[in-house]
Amino acid sequence: MAEPLPDWFLTPPGGWTGDHMDNLPPGAPRMELIDGRPIVTSPRTVFHSDAMWELVYLLKQAAPSGIRVSMEMTTKLGKYQRPEPDVVVYRDSSESSKDRRRRTHIPPEDVLLVIEIVSPESCFRDHNVKPVKYAEAGIPHFWWVEDEDGVTTVHVYELDETTRSYVPMAIIREHLDVEVPFPIRFDVRSLAA
pLDDT in tens, 17-57: 999 999 888 888 889 999 999 999 888 899 999 999 999 99
Q: What's this model's pTM, rounded to 2 decimal places?
A: 0.93
Q: Does domain 43-190 have CATH number 3.90.1570.10?
A: yes
Return the domain boundaries, the chain.
43-190
Closest by CA to 29, choosing from 20, 13, 42, 19, is: 42
Q: Strands 31-34 and 111-117: what pairing?
A: unpaired
Closest by CA to 59, choosing from 145, 149, 133, 159, is: 145
pLDDT in tens, 130-150: 999 999 999 999 999 999 999
